[in-house]
């Protein structure tokens, strides 16, 4: 079955972690991919890794918090590949670990710009193309912090809850036009983001892992398998769902 062959995907935050792992899995399946990241180095490296697998990719450097740059990565994809079948709306930042009353206003705004406005603009402009083309599949990246309260990261938790709200609302608005919108809610996953959270400390990592029923972080590749399934036609009946992928963290 060649479900993904020549299908066009945009992946944001594709220069590292979960975004990169998803690019590589889709590349193995023959998709054509627009790699979007604020980091030129990370994005170009992902494009090279995709090309090594024999798939086609372009890199668009963009800050997803900028509406104009979001519009640009959508326009450049249509110019290069003609359409958009799949969209992994994934870029996000964690902000700092600071209690709400002390949280710096400028950092609060930055987290909202990237994690909420970035996801909103991405959906807005991609859905316009998908409507013209008769449908498509979108996966937004929420978090376990989008399902339960997460002390220390109020803007991160607020924006990830907002991603869930956007996902479910867009499902109701566009299901009749062939567009599916789902979200994933990863728990701690072994990427640079968790390294920053734990500041590279093995002790802090072990403390986080001890709170996860599975006893370990997820891997970006495990998350990528879920994303690729949700992006593809095998999940055609799944719409408006928010999938925890967290070793049982939010079940208890
Ligand atoms: N790692 C985890 O434990 C975890 C858990 C739950 C949710 N998530 C979410 O998964 C997503 C991916 O994170 P990751 O763990 O792969 O982290 P990561 O830091 O490894 O990768 C994030 C990528 O996003 C890019 N990026 C950051 N700001 C950007 C911007 N303004 N515009 C475009 N690109 C930008 C970075 O350059 C980086 O390449 C994020 O939305 C994150 O909140 C991660």
Minimal-distance CA residue to ligand 1 atom 7: 143
Residue 252 forms part of a structural domain = no
Q: Is the CB of 93 under 6 A from ligand 1?
A: yes
Predicted local distance difference test score (pLDDT) of residue 47: 98
Nearest to 12 by CA among 69, 83, 81: 69
For ligand 1, mutation pick of 74, 91, 157 (most atoms within 8 Å of CB): 91
Rounded distance between C-alpha atoms, residue 84 and residue 137, angstroms: 9
Residue 186 forms part of a structural domain = yes
From first to last of its 252 residues, what are the pLDDT tens digits of the chain?
Answer: 689 999 999 999 999 999 999 999 999 999 999 999 999 999 999 999 999 999 999 999 999 999 999 999 999 999 999 999 999 999 999 999 999 999 999 999 999 999 999 999 999 999 999 999 999 999 999 999 999 999 999 999 999 999 999 999 999 999 999 999 999 999 999 999 999 999 989 999 999 999 999 999 999 999 999 999 999 999 999 999 999 999 999 999
Predicted local distance difference test score (pLDDT) of residue 235: 98
Residue 196 forms part of a structural domain = yes
For ligand 1, mutation pick of 73, 193, 224 (most atoms within 8 Å of CB): 193
Q: Known catalytic residue: 156?
A: yes
Residue 193 forms part of a structural domain = yes
Residues pairing with 175 in the sheet: none
The DSSP 8-state label assigned to residue 83 in this structure reads -
Rounded distance between C-alpha atoms, residue 216 and residue 208, angstroms: 8
Predicted local distance difference test score (pLDDT) of residue 2: 85
Predicted local distance difference test score (pLDDT) of residue 136: 98
Handedness of CA 51, 234, 186, 119 (dihedral sign): positive
- Tell me which residue range forms the domain holding 91: 8-246
Residue 195 forms part of a structural domain = yes
Name the domain count of the chain. Answer: 1
Rounded distance between C-alpha atoms, residue 148 and residue 226, angstroms: 21
The pTM (predicted TM-score) of the whole model is: 0.98
Q: How far is the CA of 1 from the centre of ligand 1 (A)?
A: 31
CATH of the domain at 135: 3.40.50.720
Q: How far is the CA of 29 from the centre of ligand 1 (A)?
A: 23
Residue 130 forms part of a structural domain = yes
Q: How far is the CA of 91 from the centre of ligand 1 (A)?
A: 5
């Amino acid at each position: 079955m060649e479900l993904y062959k020549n299908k066009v995907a945009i992946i944001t935050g594709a220069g590292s972690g979960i975004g990169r792992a998803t690019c590589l899995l889709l590349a193995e399946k023959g998709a054509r991919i627009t790699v979007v990241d604020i980091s030129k180095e990370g994005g170009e490296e992902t494009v090279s890794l995709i090309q090594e697998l024999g798939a086609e990719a372009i890199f668009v450097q963009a800050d997803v918090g900028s509406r104009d740059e979001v519009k640009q990565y959508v326009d450049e994809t249509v110019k290069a590949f003609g359409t958009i079948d799949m969209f992994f709306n994934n870029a996000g930042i964690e902000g700092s670990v600071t209690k709400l009353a002390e949280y710096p206003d400028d950092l609060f705004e930055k987290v909202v710009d990237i994690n909420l406005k970035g996801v909103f603009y991405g959906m807005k402009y991609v859905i316009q193309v998908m409507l013209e083309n008769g449908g498509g599949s979108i996966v937004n990246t929420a978090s376990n912090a989008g399902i339960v309260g997460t002390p220390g990261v109020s803007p991160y938790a607020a924006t990830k809850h907002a991603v869930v709200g956007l996902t479910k609302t867009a499902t109701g608005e566009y299901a009749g036009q062939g567009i599916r919108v789902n979200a994933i809610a990863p728990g701690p996953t072994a990427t640079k983001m968790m390294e920053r959270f734990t500041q590279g400390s093995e002790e802090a990592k072990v403390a986080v892992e001890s709170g996860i029923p599975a006893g370990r972080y997820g891997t970006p590749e495990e998350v990528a398998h879920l994303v690729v399934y949700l992006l593809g036609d095998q999940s055609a009946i799944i719409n408006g769902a928010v999938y925890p992928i967290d070793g049982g963290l939010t079940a208890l």
